[in-house]
Amino acid sequence: MKPAAFDYAAPTSLDEALQLLAANDTAKVLAGGQSLIPLLNLRLAAPELLVDLRRVPGLNEIARKGDELVIGATVRQRQAERDPLVAEAAPLVTAALAEVGHPQIRSRGTVGGSIAHADPAAELPAALVALDGRVIARGPGGERSIAAADFYLGFLTTALDDDEILVAVALPAAPPRTGAACVEIAQRAGDYAACGAVAQVTLGDAGTIAQARVALIGATDRPVRAAAVEEALAGGASIADAAGHAGDGVEPIDDPRVPSAYRIHLAGVVTRRALEQARSRAA
């Protein structure tokens, strides 16, 4: 199929982009296009206007700002995956990006595009939630910060207003002795996962787990923090025992391909593997 007819604009400033959005209620923001273009081709989205951010300056930068790593919305996923600053400050992002589609997709797809698209089977939204990151958005009223815990409202639905643009994501910088992993179960490499988990582990002086951050991919209609797993680890449980709590409090997606009970089983499997890998990389 081909998309319905639409107008196209490539503004050269963020203010111009915001004005275009404000003037058209159906306008959509285009970053890398790896999520939006398929929706257009299938006519699941039919905006009257596409606002392309690629010429807007200042959105494609990666910087350490105090205790946070800030990644601009139009930073290509492949760029972030290979960036040493990201690997040092947010190893979970590096691990998650390695599982996104294929290199060709990551070469065009953007960090902000994946975060804003809000597909529950995507890796970057889960990493944002696991790390207690925040989204930085700009709208007619100025800039605001949205905590990751409040950002995802449901399938392909976020707390962004229609006239706002995601301009960056900010993530707390990882302490020393931190390792991270992203583990997924899918039919084929590069496919959306039936279920996955991201985990970041920080070791204490004695080599035990001092802090763990875990989130599930594709388990529910949004990325979800595996709080019960984190609490079990904080209480001294083994990784295997803690991973058994991955499905606690989770209302899993149920479909013919992956029934809900099996999805919960997979959640425990991928959580254990992700924690084991993350711990080995932190040592």
Share of the chain above pLDDT 90, in %: 84
pLDDT tens-digit series, residues 108-159: 999 999 999 999 999 999 999 999 999 999 999 999 999 999 999 999 999 9
Report the alpha-carbon angle 169-150-275, nearest 5. 70
Band the pLDDT of 88: cuts 50, 70, 90: very high
Please indicate, yes or no, whether residues 147 and 194 belong to a single structural domain of this protein: no
Closest CA to 115 of 177, 188, 59: 59
Q: Per-residue pLDDT averaged across 260-282, rounded? A: 96
Please indicate, yes or no, whether residues 72 and 95 belong to a single structural domain of this protein: yes
Encode burial over 188-206: b for 16+ CB neighbours within 10 A, e otherwise. eeeebbbbbbbbbbbbeee
Residue ending a domain, among 154, 172, 190, is 172
Kindly state the tokens that stand for 215.
């989130």
Please indicate, yes or no, whether residues 31 and 77 belong to a single structural domain of this protein: no
pTM recorded for the entire structure:
0.94
**pLDDT score of 4 more than 90:** no
Q: Per-residue pLDDT averaged across 3-30, rounded? A: 94
Please indicate, yes or no, whether residues 150 and 185 belong to a single structural domain of this protein: no
Domain span including residue 220: 178-282
Band the pLDDT of 12: cuts 50, 70, 90: very high
Least confident of 38-47, 158-167, 240-249: 38-47
Please indicate, yes or no, whether residues 82 and 126 belong to a single structural domain of this protein: yes
Provide the CATH number for the domain around residue 126: 3.30.465.10
The answer as to whether 213 is a domain residue is yes
Band the pLDDT of 255: cuts 50, 70, 90: confident
Band the pLDDT of 217: cuts 50, 70, 90: very high
Q: Per-residue pLDDT averaged across 30-59, rounded? A: 90
The rounded distance, in Å, linking the Cα atoms of 41 and 6 is 12
The predicted structure's pLDDT at residue 63 = 98
Provide the CATH number for the domain around residue 245: 3.30.390.50
Please indicate, yes or no, whether residues 212 and 252 belong to a single structural domain of this protein: yes
**pLDDT score of 201 more than 80:** yes
Closest CA to 226 of 266, 268, 282, 276: 268
Please indicate, yes or no, whether residues 269 and 193 belong to a single structural domain of this protein: yes
- Say how many CA atoms lie within 13 Å of 168 toward its Cβ: 22
**pLDDT score of 188 more than 80:** no
Please indicate, yes or no, whether residues 136 and 167 belong to a single structural domain of this protein: yes
What's CA 91's distance to the chain center, in Å?
13
Please indicate, yes or no, whether residues 266 and 206 belong to a single structural domain of this protein: yes
Domain count, the chain: 3
Instruction: Find the distance separating the first CA and the last CA of the chain, reported in whole Å.
Output: 50
The predicted structure's pLDDT at residue 215 = 98
Please indicate, yes or no, whether residues 42 and 87 belong to a single structural domain of this protein: no
The predicted structure's pLDDT at residue 271 = 98
Band the pLDDT of 1: cuts 50, 70, 90: low
Residue ending a domain, among 117, 149, 172, is 172
The predicted structure's pLDDT at residue 218 = 94
